[in-house]
Every structure is written in C-alpha cells, then in structure tokens.
Amino acid sequence: MMSTAPPTTSAGLPLHLEDVTPAWLTSALQRRFPGTTVTAVRRDREFFGTAASARLHLDYAPSGPSGPASVHVKGGFDDTWRKRVWMALQQEVRFYTDVAEDAGLNVPEAYFAGLDDSPQGVLVMEDLAARGVSFGQNMLPVTADHVAGVLEAVAGMHASWWGSPRLASMAGWEQPQRTFLSYLFRPKHWDVLVDWTNGDLLVEAVGTAENAVAALERLWSWCDVQPATFLHGDLHGGNLFYEADGSPGFLDWQLCFAGTYSHDMAWVIITALDVETRRQHERDLVETYHDALRGHGAPAPPLDDTWAAYRRQTAHAVASYGAVPRDNGPREVLEEAGRRAFTAAVDHDVLGVLGLR
C-alpha cells in the first residue's frame, strides 16, 4: 500500500507512550478517519531504540464511524534518545509528508505525521502485522533473489528522483549520520571494537581508527560531487517487510537523505547477505541494479563505474554496520554484522579503492 500524505502539526505532541491517549488519537486520526472518536487504547509490542514504538489496539464510540482496530505509533518517546536523535525523528516525518507519495515504493500508510519544536516527531501508521506481512530481520537467511527484488524496486525510486530540484530541500540531512559515524572511531570505542569478536578483521580492513575516519571522509568527499537522488539511507534487512507474494516493502526512513545512488545499492547487498552469498552474487546484483536504473530512464554511469562505487561504499559498512555501539543489539547479531561489514571491506580493499594506500 502506498502512503498518502498526512498532515503535519506545530501543536504539542505526546512525549511518552503514556501520553498517546484516546483524546490525542481522536484528534490525530480525524483527517484520515473523520468523525471517529477513540474511547480506549491498549498497548503491546513496545519497543525502545533510536525511536520508540508500540502497537495500539483502539476502541471507538459506537455512535460514530470506526477507524482501524489497531495502529502502530512511533516517535521520540524516550527523553534521552529524543535529545540525541531528534533530527532523525523529524526526517522520517518529512519523508511521509513530503516524499512518500512520490517514492514509488511499498511503504506503510501513515494516518498522521507530526513534528514540533520540543523537538519531537510522531507517526501513527497502519498496523502491518494486521494485514499479514512478513518482517525482515538482520540475520535471517536472505537469498540473492530477495536482494535483487529490493534493488529493482529501489532503482525505480532512485531514477524518479535523479537530479530532482526537490532534493535541495533535503540539504544537510546526511550530516547527523556522518557526525555519528565519525564519532564511532574515537579512541575509547576503537579499543572496544578491536578487542571484540572480529576485531582482527577490522584491523585487517582499515588498520587504525585514523584510517577508518580518513576512509569515511574520502568516501563522503567523493559522494558529494556525484549526481544526487533520494536515498532510503539505512537499507538493511531489518528495515524491510514482504508481502505474501514476496514483493518488498520499506520501513524506517529516519536516515533518508539526498545523495549518490551507490549508498543504498551497496548497503542492502553487504548487510542483507551472508559473506559467502555476497561473494558469489554481488557482481551480478550490482549489474541487476545498474540495468534497472537504466531501464527506469536514469543516466546511470557505466557498469564498471557502478562496480567501483559499490566497492567504495564498503567504508560506510565498516562504520554503520560493523562499528555500532556494543549495546546496540544482541551480541550474536553484532558479531555477524561486523563479520559481513569488515569482510566486505577486506575483499574490496577499501583503503586502496579510496586511494589511501
């Protein structure tokens, strides 16, 4: 289901899940479901991460129309995390208000999307579980055919936004992510990474923390002079869902930004596939994406340049998939993420392809 553009708001938004009351939901749902009155809310499936979320089961006044029996609410409902990631929260709201209708992708319908000056960003979306989709997970077995389907869909979005003047409104959206990724290689955290599982692979890939930061800066300097399009920005397996026919849908647009196509292309290949499957299929998958991009009418660079761009993006994987804080998920997930990211960087000589040796 394609999203429809919901309203934004400058009024106060709920700051905690407990503040998502029947009265607030009644107001939030009015544009999409006019005349409904929410009388009771029950929460389950609460999750606290970069954003907090929950499924809400709703009751309605019998005297009026009803809306959905359940919805998914997402926002900065943790005080500490809201202060850290407020821009990501608001970027996802901007995606649903400004971009989703024109993305050409299967995304959840947003019934309400609001931001305010607290700063807060809140979404009320359809409950995908209620329509029986399957949710991706970072470490579930994924085939090359699955990834090919994702790449073909994303290539369509990239082509439709290629060089669009609307990208100017997204200037700077990439900066919070870049600042955070550079911070991951501060000396104290570098020592933790090296001492952890796969630390030897990290050292083989980039050698030192200084090299890791230099690789990111060299990558970003290159990215910033490439033709731009609209990017998902965080296209790993956990941010996907699948319809009954296997077609992909796309979640979690907090890191979306305007940038070069190869960011999304490389990210999904490196993160979604285990090392052996990636090695076997990555060249074909890059070609699948390249052909789809051209098929949608974008002036894609030559295939050899697309392959070189893919190789450069392994620097991003080292940081964003392999070097995240060690409390960012279950140990077995972080270990496999590091193995995938660091091995890709070794396989493609990340420092060499970026001209750093």
- Rounded Cα–Cα distance for residues 164 and 169 (Å): 10
Structural domain contains residue 213: yes
Mean pLDDT across the chain, nearest whole number? 93
Domains in the chain, number: 2
Residue 138 and residue 107 share a domain: no
Tell me the β-bridge partners of 125. Answer: 72, 110
Above 50 in pLDDT, residue 1? no
Domain identity same for 237 and 249:
yes
Longest dimension (CA), the chain: 72
The neighbouring-strand residues paired with 126 are 71
pLDDT value at residue 2 = 47
Please indicate, yes or no, if residue 10 is contained in any of the structural domains.
no
- So what's the pLDDT on residue 7? 54
- Do 114 and 138 have their domain in common? no
Examine the domain organization and report whether 197 and 310 are in the same domain: yes
In the chain, % helix, strand, coil (3-state, to 5) comes to 50, 15, 35
- The verdict on residue 3 lying in a domain is no
Task: Answer yes or no: are the C-beta atoms of 47 and 75 closer than 8 Å.
Answer: no
Indicate whether 106 and 140 sit together in one domain. Answer: no
Whichever domain contains 204, its CATH number is 3.90.1200.10
Q: Is 55 left (phi over 0), alpha (psi -120 to 50) or beta?
A: beta
pLDDT at 5 > cutoff 80: no
pLDDT at residue 316, as a whole number: 98
Dist CA 331 CA 86 (whole Å): 27
Residue pair 172/259 in contact by the 8 Å Cβ criterion: no
Mean pLDDT of 306-326: 96
Whether 198 and 64 map to the same domain: the answer is: no
pLDDT tens profile 191-229: 999 999 999 999 999 999 999 999 999 999 999 999 999
Please say whether the dihedral angle defined by the alpha carbons of residues 63, 64, 66 and 72, taken in this order, is positive or negative.
negative
pLDDT in tens, 12-70: 899 999 999 999 999 999 999 999 999 999 999 988 877 899 999 999 999 999 999 99
Flag whether 2 is in a domain. Answer: no
Name the residue with higher pLDDT: 46 or 107.
Answer: 107
226 and 347 in a single domain? The answer is: yes
Domain end, chosen from 131, 151, 179, is at 131
**pLDDT attached to residue 118:** 82
Q: Are 139 and 339 in contact (CB under 8 A)?
A: no
- Average of per-residue pLDDT across 171-191: 95
In a domain, 9, yes or no: no
Question: Among residues 88, 109, 131, which one ends one of the domains?
Answer: 131
C-alpha span between 36 and 51 (Å, rounded)? 27
State which H helix or E strand residue 90 sits in: helix 79-94
| Structure token digits, residue 257 | 């930004």
pLDDT at 6 over 60: no
84: its two tokens: 């850290």
Residue spans of beta strands (DSSP E) within 174-232: 229-231
| CA nearest to 156, candidates 93, 225, 102, 223 | 102
Q: Which two three-digit tokens encode residue 62?
A: 């019998």
CATH of the domain at 106: 3.30.200.20
Please indicate, yes or no, whether residues 321 and 343 belong to a single structural domain of this protein. Answer: yes
pLDDT at 158 over 50: yes
More reliable by pLDDT, 238 or 194: 194
- Please check whether residue 257 lies inside any domain of the structure: yes
With bands split at pLDDT 50, 70 and 90, how would you rate the model's confidence at 9?
Answer: low
Mean pLDDT of 139-156: 92
Distance of CA 140 to the CA centre of its chain: 17
Q: The domain containing residue 34 runs over which residues?
A: 17-131
Please give the model's pTM, rounded to 2 decimal places.
0.93
- In this structure, what token pair is assigned to residue 209? 């923390």
**Pair (104, 175) in one structural domain:** no
Q: What is the DSSP letter of 71?
A: E
In total, the chain counts a number of residues equal to: 357
List, for residues 268-277, the tens digit of each pLDDT value. 999 999 999 9
Is it the case that residue 137 has pLDDT exceeding 70?
A: yes
Q: What is the model's pLDDT at position 81?
A: 81
19: its two tokens:
């503040």
Residue 136 has pLDDT above 90, yes or no: no
- Which of 114, 131, 148 is where one domain is finished? 131
Reduced to 3 states, what is the DSSP secondary structure of residue 30? coil
30: amino acid identity, one letter: Q
Amino acid at 275: V
Q: Is residue 12 included in any domain, yes or no?
A: no
333 occurs within a structural domain? yes
- 296-317 average pLDDT score: 97
Q: What local confidence, expressed as pLDDT, does residue 142 receive?
A: 87
Q: What does the alpha-carbon distance between residue 188 and residue 140 come to, in Å, rounded to a whole number? A: 31
Tell whether 62 and 100 lie within a shared domain. Answer: yes
CA atoms of 206 and 92, how far apart (whole Å): 32
| Single-letter residue type at 258 | A
Residue 294 pLDDT > 80: yes
Q: Kindly state the DSSP code that residue 64 receives in the 8-state scheme.
A: S
- The secondary structure element, H or E, covering residue 40 is strand 38-48
Q: State whether 115 and 155 are in the same domain.
A: no
Q: Match 């006044």 to its residue by tokens.
A: 61
Predicted confidence at residue 83, as pLDDT, reads: 82
β-strand partners of 112: 124
Measured CA to CA in angstroms, residue 63 lies from 33, 36, 37, 58, 66 at distances of 14, 9, 9, 15, 9
Do both 155 and 260 map to the same domain?
yes
